[in-house]
Structure 1
Amino acid sequence: MKFGTVGTSWITESFIEAAEKSGKMTLNAVYSRSHENARKMADTYHAPYAYDDLEEMAANEEIEAVYIASPNSHHYEHAKLFLKHKKHVICEKPIFSNTTELEVAYQIAEENGVFLFEAMRNIHSPNAKILKQQVEEAGTLRSAMFHYLQYSSRYDLFLKGERPNIFSPEFSGGVLVDLGVYPISLAVYLFGEPDNVSYHPVMLESGVDGSGTLVMDYDGFVCTILCSKISHSFISSEIHGEDVSLVLDHVAPVNKISLVDRKTKESERLGESLHDNDMIYEIVEFTRIIETNDSEVYRKLVDLSRGVLRITENARKQNNIVFGTEK
C-alpha cells in the first residue's frame, strides 16, 4: 500500500521506518510546510513525491493512505481533506481535539468508503493482547495504577518563556492528551469505559496541564492514572486483583508483565520480546483491516478512540481547559 505523510518530525520518521520493516506499506509522498524539508525527507526514504501543498498531495491518485503527524490542533482539518479524497487515514494520537470532530470525521470516512485509524501503538502489541487475556482470567479486580511521567525537554523551553505546541492550548496541548492517552487507552482496552472520571491537574500559566491525576471509577474497582511532562517516574504500573496482581514495566509499550500470586508471592514472567520500533504492530493491523475489510475489529477501534476522547474531553471540561479549536 502506497502512503504519504503529513509532518517531518521524529515520530514521522519512526512510522516510515516501521512501515518499511512491516513490508505492508511503501512511502510514496511527504508533506511539509517547507518544500525543502519535504524534499529532504522524501529523498532520505526514496519517496517520489514531496509537497508543500496539501490539496495537491490529496489529489495524487497514487496515494492510498496517509499518516498524519501534524500538531494536534491540525489533525481534524487534515484528516477531513484526505478522507474526502478517499484516502485511508492513520492519525497520530490524540486523534482529534474533541468528540464533535471525531464523529464528523468518522462519518466522512464512512461516506467515502475508507478507514480512519488512531495511531495508538501500545494497544496493538502482542503483550497488550497477553495482558488482556490475563486480566480476563485474574478474577475480581479491585484497583489499578497506570502512569506515564516523562520530563520533557520542551518544558525547559517553556520555562525560558517559549511556548512549544505541546504546552499550548492553541495547539490542543497538555499532558493528558499527550502522554495521558497512553495509560487511558490501555485502561479502556482492558476494562472498557469507566462509569465516572475525575481529573486533578497541575496547571501551567499557558492554560494547559503539565501534570495530573485521573481517577476512573468502575463497578467494584478504581483505576488511577498519573501523567506528567514536568516530572519523571521510576516505578511500575500495576493491576490489583483479589488473588493476583499484574506488574507492568511500562504502558507504552508493555515490554514485561509479571503475574504475582497474592498468597505465595511467587512471580511468573509473561510477555514477548517486541520489535525495537513497536509502531510496526499497528501498521500490520491497520493494513490487515483494510485488505480484509474487517469491519468488526475496526468498529472496536473506533469505539476505543471514542471512549478515550470522551474521557479526556470530560476531564478537560472539569478544569476549564479549552483548546483553540473550541473557542
Structure 2
Amino acid sequence: MRNIRFGVIGTNWITERFLAGAKHHKQFELAAVYSRTEEKAAEFAAKHDIPHRYTELDAMFASGVIDAVYIASPTSYHAAHAIAAMNHGIHVLCEKPAASNAREMKEMIETAKRTDTLLMHAMKSTLMPGFGAVRDNLERIGTVRRFFASYCQYSSRYDAYKAGQVLNAFKPELSNGSLMDIGIYCIYPAVVLFGRPASVKAQAYMLESGVDGEGSLLLGYEGMDAVLMHSKITNSFVPNEIQGELGNLYVDRISEPESVELRLRGGASEDLSRPTIEDNMYYEVEEFIGLLKEGLRESSTNSHEASLITMEIIDEARGQIGLKFPADEAAGG
C-alpha cells in the first residue's frame, strides 16, 4: 500500500504534537496544510517541509493531493470541515471533541456512510497501549462496581481570563469549556468500556464567559456507576481507578494511560504497563492508517457509536448545567 497523503487543518500546538507522533509511521505523508491566512500557511509549510498550502478548504479537498485530513480547527468548525472533506472523498481524523453536539455527530456519521469514507475521533487515550492493558485485564477484577476518572488541569489561559482576556478555551461560540475539552477524556473511555449509561447527572461551576470552568458527572449503569471529575481551573493528581469485586485496576492518567496496575483483593499486585512512545499521538495515526490498509471505514474502539454516545452524554450534561453554544441554535436547538 502506498503512503497515505494527509492534509492538516490548523497550525496550533495540537497539530504540532500530532505531526510529532505521525512522523513515526512509515506510511504517513504530510502533503498539505490549510490556514486562514497565507502567512501562517506559508510559515507552517516551511517549518514542516509541506509541499502544498491552502487558504481555501475546498481547494485543498478538490486538489487531488491528499487522501485524508487531520482536523484541528476550533470545535465549532469540526462538523462543517469534516463533512466538506468527506463530500470530496477525503477520509477524516477529527480532533476531540469531534462535534459541538450529537446532532452534528450524527450528520458526520451519515456523511461518512454515504460517501464511503473513514471517519474517526482522534481520541488518542483509548488507542494507547495502556488502555489496551486495561481492556485485556478487566475481567480479572470481577464484576465492576465503579469507574472513577479525574482529569483536572489548570489552564494557563485561565490566568489571562482572570486578567480580563477571554481566549478561545473559554469561548462558547467556539464550543469550548471544561466539559468539552477536558471532561471528554473521562467520558469517552467509560463509553468504550461500558457502553451507554442509563442515567446522567452533572454539575459544574460556570464562568461569566458562558462556559464551565470545572464540573463532575455521575453516569449510572446497571450494577455500577462512573464518577467523573474535570476542570480547567484546578489541578488534580489523584489516580484513576476501576473497582471490581475481585480487585482494582489503577491508571495514572486517564488522558494518557501509561502506568497500569492490577491489585487483587487478596493482596497480590501486578504491573500491567506496556511500552509507550513519548510522541503518543502516534497511536491514533497507527489505528487510522491501519483501518485504511484493511479497507475499513470505522474503528472498533473509537467507533461511530462510541463517539455518538459520548456526544449524547455531553449534550445531556450541558442541558443540566446550562451550557449552550451557538452551534446548538444552528439546528433550532
- TM-score normalised by length of structure 2: 0.95
Instruction: Tell me which residue corresponds to 2:306.
Output: 304
1:95 aligns with 2:98: yes
Where structure 1 has 5 or more consecutive residues not aligned to the other structure, the ranges are none
Matches of 2:95 and 2:85, distance apart in 1: 14
Out of 1, 8, 15, the position equivalent to 1:12 is 15
1:96-134, Cα deviation, whole Å (9 max, x unpaired): 011111111121222222111110000011221110121
Instruction: Tell me which residue corresponds to 1:159.
Output: 162
Out of 271, 279, 282, the position equivalent to 1:280 is 282
Instruction: Tell me which residue corresponds to 1:123.
Output: 126
Return the offset for 1:296: 6.6
Instruction: Tell me which residue corresponds to 2:82.
Output: 79
Return the offset for 1:140: 1.2
Q: Is the 8 A contact 1:200 1:213 kept in 2?
A: yes
Equivalent AA in structure 2 for residue 153 of structure 1: S
1:139 aligns with 2:142: yes
1:317 aligns with 2:319: yes
Matches of 2:83 and 2:299, distance apart in 1: 22
1:210 aligns with 2:213: yes
Where structure 2 has 5 or more consecutive residues not aligned to the other structure, the ranges are none
Out of 146, 168, 173, the position equivalent to 2:171 is 168
Out of 190, 194, 200, the position equivalent to 1:191 is 194
Equivalent AA in structure 2 for residue 58 of structure 1: F
Q: Is the 8 A contact 2:219 2:227 kept in 1?
A: yes
Out of 20, 35, 59, the position equivalent to 2:38 is 35
Matches of 1:212 and 1:296, distance apart in 2: 31
Q: Is the 8 A contact 1:24 1:283 kept in 2?
A: no
Distance 1:300 1:179, change over 3 A: closer
Out of 222, 226, 244, the position equivalent to 1:219 is 222
In the TM superposition, structure 1's runs of 4+ consecutive aligned residues that sit over 3 Å from their partners are 295-300
Return the offset for 1:192: 1.5
Matches of 1:161 and 1:297, distance apart in 2: 42
Equivalent AA in structure 1 for residue 203 of structure 2: H
Out of 271, 296, 299, the position equivalent to 1:269 is 271
Distance 1:257 1:287, change over 3 A: same
Aligned residues: 326
Instruction: Tell me which residue corresponds to 2:53.
Output: 50
Q: Which piece of structure 1 moves more, 288-297 or 57-66?
A: 288-297
Return the offset for 1:191: 1.5
Equivalent AA in structure 1 for residue 158 of structure 2: Y
1:66-90, Cα deviation, whole Å (9 max, x unpaired): 1000001111111111111110011
Classify the secondary structure of the residue corresponding to 2:30.
strand
1:129-160, Cα deviation, whole Å (9 max, x unpaired): 11012113321111121010000000111111
Matches of 1:165 and 1:78, distance apart in 2: 18
Q: Is the 8 A contact 1:135 1:190 kept in 2?
A: no
Return the offset for 1:164: 1.4
Equivalent AA in structure 1 for residue 304 of structure 2: V
Distance 1:157 1:250, change over 3 A: same
Equivalent AA in structure 2 for residue 130 of structure 1: A
Out of 244, 248, 253, the position equivalent to 2:251 is 248
Matches of 1:159 and 1:135, distance apart in 2: 42
Matches of 1:289 and 1:39, distance apart in 2: 31
